[in-house]
């Protein structure tokens, strides 16, 4: 009897080993480079915290690369498999006659994510008050700066004539430059804008996202060759993002803040909730990963207005909606 039991355990052990090895092999690793680390990307962090990536059998390594140019360089040099950055970067790469174009496959945010912050508290703000001031803008050619200029022109302000426009400060150093005394106004992402407001360093007086309308502000993208060779992993990734988008859409700001707090440990849960509520209320978080043609054309209009559009590119050339449509249909 003892020999029989031992034999059964041996068989079970031998079966377990290959099954365990098989499960390990099913885990697919993806490296993602995000252009900045912001509550603006809440659905991405929800995909981690609520286990949507894990459910798809993905092990996702997230790195912050601080700036559109650095993020795209990281992607093109194979330092990352997927980039989360403004879709205008794919147009810049395409204009250089890239042999391996970068394709947008899943949209994460659909409005600008920056806010106009004033050094002084202004009760009755009007945009014309900016005229003659020193404005600390974002990097030339990036989505924040282009949307900023688009909104300013919409309000009757020529940013290059009516403002003392500063654009030569590194993306990662813009907030600290304003805190050190540079500029009367600055264009900032959250949670920095709200932190400044809490500290009395600056005051949020307007939202560029509300003024600009829908635009594919930040999307997940990858080189075409990587997408062709790893189509299953890209589909799984997109499915996880879509599930996270739906989760964010169906939960309130307090629940979302709790979910993503581990990604912003130095920020109070109350502040995260405030920022999430601000982004949700203005429709910044896309509720599905499809980047449609209307948004794509709006993006190019904004780039053209800023004098940064190298050439017009058809939607289907640099945008793949098939993957998003497939995961949504299921």
Whole-angstrom distance, CA of residue 292 vs CA of residue 107: 9
The alpha-carbon radius of gyration of the chain (Å, integer) is 22
Residue whose entry in the numeric block shows the structure tokens 């058809």: 314
Range of the domain at 166: 114-212
Q: Please indicate, yes or no, if residue 168 is contained in any of the structural domains.
A: yes
- Residue at 20 is within a domain: no
**The pLDDT of residue 104:** 98
Extract the tokens encoding 194.
């709200």
- Same domain, residue pair 189 and 325: no
Asked whether residue 14 is domain-assigned, the answer is no
Characterize the bridge pairing of strands 185-189 and 134-136.
parallel
What's the average model confidence in pLDDT over 221-234? 98
- Shared domain for 132 and 167, answered yes or no, is yes
CA distance linking residue 289 with residue 228, whole number of Å: 19
Q: pTM for the full model?
A: 0.86
Q: How many residues does the chain have?
A: 330
User: Hey, how many other C-beta atoms are within 10 angstroms of the C-beta on 4?
Assistant: 8
- At 133-145, the pLDDT tens digits run 999 998 888 888 9
- Return the sign of the alpha-carbon dihedral for residues 205, 208, 212, 216: negative
Q: Are residues 219 and 325 in the same domain?
A: yes
DSSP string, 210-266: HHH-----EEEEEEHHHHHHTHHHHHHHHHHHHHHHHHHHHS-HHHHHHHHGGG-TT
| pLDDT tops 70 at residue 15 | no
Two tokens, residue 16: 């377990």
299: which 2 tokens? 């993006």
**253 in any annotated domain:** yes
Q: Before 26, cis peptide (omega within 30)?
A: no
**92 and 227 together in one domain:** yes
Query: Is residue 211 scored above 50 in pLDDT?
Result: yes
- List, for residues 70-127, the tens digit of each pLDDT value: 999 999 999 999 999 999 999 999 999 989 999 999 999 999 999 999 999 999 999 9
The total number of structural domains that make up the chain: 2
In this structure, the answer to whether residues 277 and 158 fall within a common structural domain is no
Q: What is the per-residue pLDDT for 21? A: 44
In tens, the pLDDT along 268-311 reads 999 999 999 999 999 999 999 999 999 999 999 999 988 999 99
Domain boundary among 162, 192, 212: 212
Q: Given pLDDT bands bounded at 50, 70 and 90, which one contains residue 5?
A: very low
Look at residue 10 and tell me whether its pLDDT is greater than 60: no
Do 253 and 318 have their domain in common? yes
Q: What is the mean pLDDT of the chain?
A: 92
> In terms of domains, do 136 and 184 share one?
yes
Residue with tokens 């400060």: 169
- Same domain? For 223 and 204 the reply is no
Q: State residue 1's pLDDT score.
A: 52
Question: Residue 314 pLDDT more than 60?
Answer: yes
Tell me, what's the pLDDT at 16?
A: 43
Which residues are bridge partners to 319 per DSSP?
104
Helix then strand then coil, % of the chain, to nearest 5: 50, 15, 30
Q: Is 6 inside a domain boundary?
A: no
Asked whether residue 129 is domain-assigned, the answer is: yes
* Residue 4 domain-assigned (yes or no): no
187, 212, 237 - which closes a domain: 212
pLDDT cut 70: percent of the chain above it: 92
Which domain CATH number covers 183? 3.40.190.10
Residue where a domain stops, chosen among 164, 181, 212: 212
């Amino acid at each position: 009897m003892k020999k029989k039991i031992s034999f059964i355990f041996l068989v079970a052990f031998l079966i377990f080993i290959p099954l365990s090895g098989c499960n390990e092999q099913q885990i697919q690793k993806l490296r993602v480079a995000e252009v900045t680390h912001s509550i603006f990307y809440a659905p991405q962090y929800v995909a981690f915290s609520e286990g949507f990536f894990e459910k798809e059998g993905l092990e996702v390594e997230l790195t912050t690369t601080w700036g559109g140019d650095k993020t795209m360089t990281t992607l093109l040099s194979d330092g990352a498999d997927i980039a989360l950055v403004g879709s205008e970067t794919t147009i810049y790469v395409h204009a250089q006659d890239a042999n391996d174009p970068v394709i947008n496959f899943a949209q994460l945010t659909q409005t600008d994510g920056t806010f106009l912050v004033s050094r002084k508290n202004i009760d009755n703000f009007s945009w014309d008050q900016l005229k003659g001031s020193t404005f600390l803008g974002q990097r030339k050619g990036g989505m924040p700066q282009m949307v900023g200029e688009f909104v300013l022109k919409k309000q009757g302000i020529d940013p290059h004539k009516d403002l003392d426009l500063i654009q030569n400060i590194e993306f990662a150093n813009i907030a600290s430059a304003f805190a050190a005394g540079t500029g009367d106004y600055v264009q900032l992402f959250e949670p920095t804008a709200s932190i400044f407001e809490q500290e009395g360093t600056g005051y949020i007086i307007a939202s560029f996202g509300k003024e600009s309308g829908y635009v594919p502000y930040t999307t997940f993208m990858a080189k075409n060759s990587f997408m062709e060779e790893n189509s299953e992993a890209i589909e799984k990734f997109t499915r996880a993002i879509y599930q996270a988008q739906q989760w964010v859409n169906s939960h309130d700001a307090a629940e979302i803040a709790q979910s993503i707090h581990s990604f912003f440990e130095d920020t109070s849960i109350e502040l995260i909730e405030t920022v999430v509520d601000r982004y949700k209320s203005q429709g910044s978080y896309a509720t599905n990963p499809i980047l449609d043609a209307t948004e794509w054309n709006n993006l190019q209009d904004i780039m053209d207005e800023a004098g940064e559009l190298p050439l017009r590119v058809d939607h289907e050339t640099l945008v793949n909606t098939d993957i998003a449509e497939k995961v949504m249909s299921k």
